[in-house]
Structure 1
Amino acid sequence: MGVTLPPAPWRDRAGLAELARTLGADQGMTRIVGGAVRDTLLGLGGGLDVQDIDLATRLLPDDVLDRLRAARIRAAPTGIAHGTVTAILESGPVEVTTLRRDVATDGRHAVVAFSDDWREDAARRDFTINALYADPATGAVTDYFGGLDDLAARCVRFIGDPLQRIAEDHLRILRFFRFHARFGDVVDAAGLEACRLRANDLMALSRERIASEMLKLLVAPAAVPVIGLMVEQGILRAVLPEIDAAGVERLAALAAREHAAGVAPDPIRRLAAILPPAQADGVAARLKLSNANRKRLVAASAGIGSEGPPALAYRAGETSAVDRLLLAGEDPRAVIGWTPPTLPIAGGALVERGLRKGPQVAATLRAIETRWIAEGFPDAARTAAIADDAVAQALRAISA
């Protein structure tokens, strides 16, 4: 008896059954493919882990569009040149892609031709665990390359010749390690050796693609040992030479602190841990991180100062404070969910006390704020007393 998908909430998503019928799933024309099948078989699909549902179909893209329009299902030709149409259901989008075979590849892009052969479509995919198909109605699973056995063994294995798979798309080197960090127990020796031999191929990829894979990898369950393996094998030497064994040790320490504090792993924080602080800005620029993530990465290793965690959170914000405290080996729980108070005095009150509008008011207000923070954010009455003293000092300085 064959393998079938167990029940999972995503299988009952509104509109999915109708979509499958519209695309001829009951005639064998359309199947669920990829992550939804893999994760459900691994037991991850019983909750909210399965977000993306992908369908593979023998129908050509124009036929898919025609059928969806006839069924009054909204559709967008999001990647029609490569065979992908997105069906927009009330429960969320579902990507529908025509079966394909590769005509030409250069390690970054592929020229494809449409196919009606399920095995041919499976053969062009990266790993056996990602080439599993399931009937939308019955859940019956079709496996062409031993993906079910590899799932059972928790082994990420390339389909066919690993060197060929990497030559087709160099990003598969990083994907091999990311999927192993998420699912793997046993490292496939042939895959690992191919990644080691072809590691320099990563230089041909855009830095945005490298960044996307690395940030996903850094928050995977087994990120620490897998990054350690990558450093040991020289996988990142050509594109991220700043990451070394010392960085892996820092990452391991951070991961342990995150776990102890009940803080979710964060990719930018973990990237900050694994990089030497002096290299953070350069790496952020090279990876073309967003301005916000670049600033956060640089700030993460700036230290925590001497004013204490609440003061740090007040000045830097909760996210940056948590980053800095964890990287410094401190407990961040005092600032998680903490609402910073508002300084209960403004510049106008200082003018009323005798200061002239302008730079002196701003400087005195900063001095008041510093004392207010140091005293643990006292109430308005105490703040007024601090202000009286600060204004008196400022006026004496003017008259001196």
Structure 2
Amino acid sequence: MTRLLRVLGAQDGETRFVGGCVRDTLLDIEVNDVDLATRLLPEEVVTRLQAAGIKAVPTGLAHGTVTAVTNGQPVEVTTLRRDVVTDGRRATVAFTSEWRDDAARRDFTINALSADPSTLEVYDYFGGTADLEARRVRFIGDPLTRIAEDHLRILRFFRFHARFGVSEPDREGLEACTRRANDLMALSRERIADELLKLLGLPDPGTTLRLMIDRGILRPVLPEIGDPGTLERLIEAERRAGIAPNPLRRLAALLPADPDVAAAIAARLRLSKQATKRLVSAARRELAPPFILAYAIGADEAVDRFLLAGEASPELAALQAWQRPRLPIGGGDLIRLGLEAGPAVARAIRAVETEWAEAGFPSDRQQVREIARRHVDRALAGDAKG
């Protein structure tokens, strides 16, 4: 990082730490991503990186962003910008050399901080440090104007409040988000899903989600979301069981226990096939003995269902780490025991699998063979009677 900063002229005031890494450092929170802002134009950034032998990935040149890869770690380097035209979904930008102009286009005061890498001096143009001390999320300037520039800021307001805020959210920001909730309909469902799942993945978003539901924030895009009580009970069950939060599980808690509704919402939010499968499975809610259920639908899906039912047994942590065993015999073994190939083999193997699971998934092949022998004999006896 020191070399990268030197190449980008940080010692001459050309480049600063910016945004979340500054915010989180001031809050004494672990920093996961480091972002840099620079007065240098994107082409100059690329030229300097390449001359220094640092990999430069032009991830968003039109918007001023170059990703520098140093010691295997990506660092986003973005040229200072100001908004020229915004329509609620995207912005046309122009490059600038003014740090305040770049800070002014950010959403919240706590995200507009920058820091000099050489002196560690923090630059705060809009009262972000005071808001950090108060654990308050506040829009820069007029909230309605900032929402009109980018409608996603409605959801970001609540996510950042759930993560950093204490007590009640900023009143002016809350009222603006409530008034403009219908603006969310103009956003792509992928952006909505990404922001909502980030919110649901926070340690305890329950109070914030209740506020959003009471205010009708999600109604324009997810009218199916109802009583947040199930989510609050789920969060408590996760805590008691020592299970990490999962945003899809928590989304299921906000929805009716209806697989068809879950599938429709997954399609609306453009969720992946894997995410859709998990959300639909959670909506089914049916339970069985823990390891038998995990064998049938998968360990993660089984844990989802038990937690959604309010179960918080320590056994769930073991269930989550459980590896699905494999039935030690197959259809060929049943044929060798006397069954004819065909539907009877499939029926018998399902019966063997059920008894094997109920017996605790024994790995001893002879024990499983004895189970199989019984079911083959029953099948043959049934055929003889027929």
Give the alignment's TM-score, normalised by structure 2. Answer: 0.95
Q: Which residue among 52, 56, 63 is the counterpart of 1:82?
A: 63
Compute the displacement of 1:385 (Å).
1.7
Deviations 1:166-199 (A, max 9, x none): 0100000000000001111141111001101111
Contact kept, 8 Å, 1:364 with 1:394, in 2: the verdict is yes
* 2:4 equivalent to 1:19: yes
Distance 1:24 1:333 in 2: 49
Instruction: Give, in whole Å, the separation in 1 of the partners of 2:100 and 2:287.
Output: 60
Residue 313 of structure 1 aligns with an amino acid whose one-letter code is A
CA contact (8 A) 2:256 2:283 kept: no
2:103 corresponds to: 122
Distance 1:232 1:303, change over 3 A: closer
2:320 is paired with a residue whose SS is coil
Instruction: Please name the residue that 1:211 is paired with.
Output: 193
Match of 2:350 among 358, 366, 369: 366
Match of 2:319 in 1: 335
In 2, are the aligned partners of 1:304 and 1:328 still within 8 Å (CA)?
A: no
Shift of 1:344: 2.2
Q: CA deviation at 1:334?
A: 4.3
Among 13, 19, 24, the alignment partner of 1:34 is 19
Deviation at 1:350, TM superposition (A): 1.2
Q: Distance in 1 between matches of 2:244 and 2:124?
A: 35
Q: Counterparts of 2:113 and 2:44 in 1: how far apart (Å)?
A: 24
Deviations 1:25-64 (A, max 9, x none): 111110010111111111113xxxx221110001111111
Q: Of 172, 188, 193, which residue of structure 1 is paired with 2:170?
A: 188
Normalising by structure 1, we get a TM-score of 0.92
Residue in structure 2 matching 1:255, options 226, 231, 235: 235
Q: What's the counterpart of residue 239 of structure 1? A: 221
Q: Percent identity?
A: 60
Structure 2 counterpart of 1:273? 253
Matched AA of 1:343? L
Contact 2:287 2:306 in 1 (8 A): no
- Paired residue secondary structure (2:69): strand
* Aligned residue in 2 for 1:288: 270
State the 1:380 CA deviation: 2.6
Contact 2:34 2:75 in 1 (8 A): yes
Contact 1:56 1:97 in 2 (8 A): yes
Task: State the AA in 2 paired with 1:218.
Answer: L
C-alpha distance in 1, partners of 2:376/2:221? Answer: 55
Gaps of 5+ in 1: 1-15
Given that residues 268 and 296 in structure 1 are in contact (C-alpha distance below 8 angstroms), is that contact kept between their aligned partners in structure 2? Answer: yes
Deviates more, 1:376-385 or 1:99-108: 376-385
Give the conservation status (yes or no) of the 8 Å contact 1:310–1:334: no
1:8 aligns to what?
A: none
Deviation for aligned residue 1:370 = 0.7
Separation (CA, whole Å) in 2 of partners of 1:269 and 1:382: 38
The reply on whether 1:151 has 2:132 as its aligned counterpart is: yes
**Does the CA-based 8 Å contact 1:74-1:88 persist in structure 2?**
yes
Q: Distance in 2 between matches of 1:319 and 1:227?
A: 24
Please list the CA deviations of residues 292-336 of structure 1 after superposition, one character each: whole Å capped at 9, or x if unmatched: 111110101223433x00101111111111111111222323412
The code of the aligned residue for 2:49 comes to L
- Would the aligned equivalents of 1:77 and 1:86 in 2 still touch at CA under 8 Å? yes
C-alpha distance in 2, partners of 1:377/1:55? 54
Aligned to 1:7: none
Residue 71 in 1 paired to residue 52 in 2? yes
Verify the 8 A CA contact 2:334 2:376 in the aligned structure 1.
yes
Residue of structure 1 in register with 2:244 after alignment: 264
CA distance in 1, matches of 2:343, 2:350: 11
Distance in structure 2 (CA, Å) of the matches to 1:109 and 1:210: 14
Q: 2:307 aligns with which of 302, 315, 326?
A: 326
Distance 1:102 1:140, change over 3 A: same
Partner of residue 352, structure 1: 336
Structure 2: gaps of 5 or more residues: none
* Number of residue pairs aligned between Structure 1 and Structure 2: 378
Matching residue's letter, 1:239: V
Q: Is it true that 1:199 corresponds to 2:213 in the alignment?
A: no
Q: 1:238-282 deviations in whole A, cap 9, x for unaligned?
A: 1111112x2x10000000000001000001100011111222111
Q: Is the 8 A contact 2:257 2:285 kept in 1?
A: no
CA distance in 1 between counterparts of 2:29 and 2:13 reads 26
Q: Say if 1:199 and 1:235, in contact at 8 Å, map to a contact too.
A: yes
Q: CA contact under 8 A between 1:17 and 1:137: conserved in structure 2?
A: no
1:70, CA displacement in angstroms?
1.4
The answer to whether the aligner puts 1:140 opposite 2:121 as a matched pair is yes
What is the CA deviation profile of residues 47-100 of structure 1, one whole-angstrom value per residue up to 9, with x for unaligned ones?
xxx221110001111111111111111101110001111111114111100101
User: Which shifted more, 96-105 or 63-72?
Assistant: 63-72
Mapped partners of 1:146, 1:58: distance in 2: 23
Which has the larger displacement, 159-168 or 324-333? 324-333
Q: SS of the residue aligned with 1:191?
A: helix
CA contact (8 A) 2:81 2:94 kept: yes
Q: Check the 8 A contact 1:367/1:390 in 2, yes or no.
A: yes
